[in-house]
Structure 1
Amino acid sequence: MRGGSVAVVGGSIAGCAFARAAARGGAERVTVLERSPGRLEDRGVGLCILLDRYDELVRAGHLDDGIRHHPVTSRHWVARGEDGDPRGRVLWVQPMAMHAFHWGVLWQGLRERTPDSVEFRAGTAVGAVGGTDPAAPAWLETADGGRETHDLVVGADGHRSVVRAAVCPRARSEYAGYVAWRGSFDARLLDRLPGGAARWPGEEVITVCYPGGQVVLYRVPGLTPGTTLVNWVFYAPAPTWLRRADEESDPLGFPVGALDDAHHDELAELAERALPPYWAGVVNLTPVERILLQPIHDLETPRRTAGRLLLAGDAATLVRPHTTSGAAKALQDACAFEDAWRAADDWADLLPGYDRERGEAGRALVDLSRRLGRAQVSEAPDWSAIDGPGMAEWWRRQLGATGGFGGLALDRPPAAPRG
């Protein structure tokens, strides 16, 4: 199928990937509408893509080695030990080959690889969309009152998606009952700690387990080439001050730069109380302006398409970060979309093919993310009583028969990309 007009609502990772897929598939006109007025490099912090999923996406033409990343070879699970080791007691060394990315570096790479024919309209918020009749074009309205029609509108607009409200009006995200503090800082600051950076080899992901939560720490490339950041995610019960009276079931988060010194002190006290000394020190090296607070949610949708509307990335399924699958999921969605496009004769063929390809996979990931969240945070085992073989069996039980950590494998080899 060739021709037609595609509008992508949201210009982040999923939005860039879908714009590129539509252009390569043969759309005559592709427009990306992003509500943020500037570039998005500093949005978010770190993410990982398992090497198997990365290699699939490279073969599909959706990633390449020109986008800077940091190699990871193993995941070390640790907890406080009785011997006073500042790094804690090692529970399990889990082989795990991944590439770690800075969100902004990955976004920048995808944005640069989007064809010049794609129109990006920054600072353009979309207030409403429609188009559930497959025989008629879709429409969207911008916040400034403009209205336009397209053959297809893709919702890559994340957690609170406007497009999802039209495709699945009853779908709502569910608060998981805990939060993730997130932070990043220049890795050279590690030299301020006793033993310095040498205590933590750069190819290791560290998962520090404590009663009621865990902390995951790893290195990522900095926005400036040649620099490296420490990135961490600290899962913990929600602070009492996080919830507002009208947001009991869905507390609001705090973006980078919104927290103050009192919140920083609370995080420091939690780190010193829960973590071995070295890892508490790593967390407490983070400047308050580089810390954000994110309530954890999940979301599954009964369908991804309706008429001439289609959902992508977190607008379609929101999974907890424990699965290490968020970026891979969005890029796999784009791969499946391009694959369905090439196989379709018309719009009526395109959308059901994409829905079949990604709907079941998305729901399976949501289910896995809930199991991992319970196993690692809300219903975690007694870490003091578990050893390496016990950890391996515990991990196997969480994954179940289908696995899926890092994202499920693509169902079939994608078509060779054009251009």
Structure 2
Amino acid sequence: MRRGSVAVVGGSIAGSAFAGAAARLGAERVVVLERSPGRLEDRGLGICTHDDRFAELVDAGHLAPDTRRHRLTVRSWVTREPDGPGDGPHGRGRLLWAQPFPFHSHHWAVLWQSLRESAPEVVEYRLGTTVTAVGNDGGGGAWTEEADGVRTPYDLVIGADGYRSVVRAAVCPQAVPEYAGYVCWRGSFDSALLAELPGGAGVWPEEECITVCYRGGQVVIYRIPGLTPGTTQVNWVFYAPTPDWLRLDGPTAVAAGALTGRQLDGMREFAERQLPPYWAGLIALTPPERTLLQPVYDLATPHRTAGRLLIGGDAATVVRPHNTSGAVKALQDAHAFEQAGRRLGAGSWAPVLAAYDRERTAAGRELVGMGRTLGGAQVTSAPDWSAMDEPAMAAWWREQLTGGGFGGHALGRTG
């Protein structure tokens, strides 16, 4: 019977969503094992959800309708003119295209907190718990091993432990993230600091997402809800060439607060050379402790289950951020798992895992393909932005969408 105990390795958005799904499917005990010892609320990154995908997740019961979010309606693509005359009075850059953009933005921690608060009572969170290995026990169950060497048996182990997943190493050890050849610098700060820029915050409308294009990369900038209701933060993602000092010995990142002053100065100087003045100044406002570096990877696993082990979220599929689908992908993985259990009724976990594997493995491959297409078109093989105008931009964008998946697939879609 689908009862017993379930371990979820990783307590972020994917882990919280899977924990709730497992509890609703009848698990008597769900233990979320999160290696971070501190407050996950401290994670300040921004994420976006397409309006339609958000509505679907609310209707399906995975998100609360009053989840705090910031409305976005337009994505303005801009570029810096070689000699600056088209950058405008406040240095915003030359407008290439005002693209309709029906999305909402979220503060990672606010969205995570909403999921955490809605968790069923049987879900237990254990912070500061490092899982070093997992496996099947040969008798229809699974186990986790922690840093002290102690193994704990479970009826099912779910890996939601990110792109360096321990659980993925057991499910499909041949699958490793592949470096895309460029990085993204990321940062966030309180919107009140925009007053320090020439023209202040009024230069940049509240509902506008900005994409600044330059040869070899781009910067995506938008507001997100602050941790305190009624406040907003600025969130930016700066796609750029690999810094000379970065050593890639495996999937890695440089956490907020760990970058040196010299490394940060190099990034800011690069921004000044490539971006219109307003947006370069915005990046420079970001405190060092709120700036981090993430090399861009992607990965599509050949399968997502092995015995009583299952992977979801970034543990199963690493998609380049250009898709604007990361949070949706994680929640839809958990939804597919739960819906498989509801369709199959009472019984063992095995058929649920098989149905989940069939649906989400195919969808994950398509999302990875879309991310690679977008990364090529917008970064590694981008057009000459100085020659682009609105008709050319619209045509260029349509060419990128042939595979589908921007903003995430419609909920429940298979294949």
TM-score (norm 1): 0.94
Aligned partners of 2:5 and 2:29 also within 8 Å: yes
Aligned residue for 1:366?
368
- Equivalent pair of 1:11/1:156 in contact (CA under 8 Å): yes
2:220 corresponds in structure 1 to 216
Task: Give the structure 1 partner of residue 326 of structure 2.
Answer: 326
CA distance in 2, matches of 1:132, 1:231: 44
Matched, 1:90 2:95: yes
SS in 2 for 1:124: coil
Q: CA deviation at 1:398?
A: 0.9
RMSD across aligned positions (CA):
1.5
Tell whether 2:389 aligns with 1:384: no
Q: Is the 8 A contact 2:4 2:27 kept in 1?
A: yes
Asked whether the equivalents of residues 336 and 412 of structure 2 are also in contact (C-alpha less than 8 Å), the reply is: no
Secondary structure of 2:236 counterpart? strand
**Mapped contact 2:64–2:114 kept (Cα < 8 A):** no
Partner of 2:231: 227
Name the CA distance, whole Å, in 1 between partners of 2:259 and 2:349.
46
Question: By how many angstroms is 1:225 displaced?
Answer: 2.0
Shift of 1:231: 0.4
**How many residue pairs were aligned?**
407
Distance in structure 1 (CA, Å) of the matches to 2:45 and 2:160: 19
Q: How does 1:391-410 map to 2 (within 5 A)?
A: 391-400=393-402, 402-410=403-411
Structure 1 contact 132–307 (Cα < 8 Å) conserved = no
- In the TM superposition, residue 289 of structure 1 has moved relative to its aligned partner by 1.5
Residue 145 (structure 1) aligned with residue 149 (structure 2): yes
Q: Indicate conservation of the 8 Å contact 1:243/1:251, yes or no.
A: no
CA distance in 2, matches of 1:4, 1:335: 20
**Rounded Cα–Cα distance in structure 2 between residues aligned with 1:154 and 1:47:** 23
Deviation, structure 1 residue 146: 1.6
Residues 248-269 of structure 1, C-alpha deviations (whole Å, 9 max, x = no match): xx47421011112222211111
CA-CA distance at 1:5 after TM superposition = 1.4
Question: d(CA) in 1 for partners of 2:366 and 2:6?
Answer: 28
Given that 1:2 and 1:28 are in contact with CA atoms closer than 8 Å, whether structure 2 keeps it comes out as no
Distance (whole Å) between structure 2 residues aligned to residue 341 and residue 39 of structure 1: 32
**Range 109-118 or range 165-174, more displaced:** 109-118
Residue 412 of structure 2 corresponds to which residue in structure 1? 411
Distance 1:37 1:189 in 2: 30
Determine the structure 1 residue equivalent to 2:240.
236
Could you tell me which of 165, 170, 173 is aligned with 2:169?
165
Letter in 1 for 2:110: V
Tell me, in whole angstroms, the C-alpha distance in 2 between the residues paired with 1:307 and 1:407.
28
Equivalent residues of 2:72, 2:104 under 8 A apart: yes
Q: 1:242 touches 1:252 (CA, 8 Å); kept in 2?
A: no
What are the superposed Cα offsets for residues 2-43 of structure 1, whole Å, 9 maximum, x if unpaired?
A: 422111001011000000111112111111111111220122
1:274 corresponds to: 274
Cα displacement string for residues 265-295 of structure 1 (whole angstroms, at most 9, x for unaligned residues): 1111111100011111111111111100110
- Displacement, 1:101? 0.5
TM alignment of 1:287-366, pairs within 5 A: 287-344=287-344, 345-366=347-368
1:187-240 per-position Cα deviation (integer Å, ceiling 9, x unaligned)? 011111111111100100000000010000000011122221000000000110
The answer on 1:120 being equivalent to 2:122 is no
119 and 358 in structure 1: CA distance in 2 versus 1, 3 angstrom threshold: same
Offset from partner CA, 1:153-188 (integer Å, 9 cap, x none): 000000111100110010011011110000111101
**SS of corresponding position for 1:404:** coil
Check the 8 A contact 2:30/2:123 in 1, yes or no: yes
Q: Is the Cα contact below 8 Å between 2:217 and 2:241 reproduced in 1?
A: yes
Q: Give the whole-Å Cα distance in 1 for the aligned partners of 2:87 and 2:56.
A: 43
Q: Which residue of 1 aligns with 2:201?
A: 197
**Displacement of 1:334:** 0.6
Q: Does 1:32 align with 2:37?
A: no
In structure 1, C-alpha distance between the alignment counterparts of 2:79 and 2:314, rounded to whole Å: 32
2:183 paired with 1:182? no
TM-superposed deviation, 1:87: 0.7
d(CA) in 1 for partners of 2:131 and 2:288?
32
2-structure distance, mates of 1:303, 1:412:
18
The aligned counterpart of 2:49 is 49
Q: Which amino acid counterpart does residue 136 of structure 1 have in structure 2?
A: G
Q: What's the CA shift for 1:116?
A: 2.1
Write the distance in 1 (CA, Å) between the matches of 2:320 and 2:216: 16
SS in 1 for 2:158: strand
User: Tell me, which stretches of 5 or more residues in structure 1 are unaligned?
Assistant: 414-419
The 4+ residue runs of structure 1 with deviation greater than 4 A are none
1:47–1:102 contact (8 Å) kept in structure 2: yes
1: CA distance between counterparts of 2:329 and 2:47?
12
Residue 107 of structure 1 is matched in structure 2 by: 112
Q: How far, CA to CA, are the matches of 1:84 and 1:36 in structure 2?
A: 44
Distance in 2 separating the partners of 1:349 and 1:183: 42
Deviations 1:294-315 (A, max 9, x none): 1000011000111110001000
Deviation (angstroms), 1:44: 4.6
* TM-score, structure 2 as length reference: 0.95
* Alpha-carbon shift at residue 83 of structure 1 (Å): 2.6
Aligned equivalents of 1:42 and 1:406: distance in 2? 25
Q: Report the residue type matching 1:54 in the other structure.
A: F
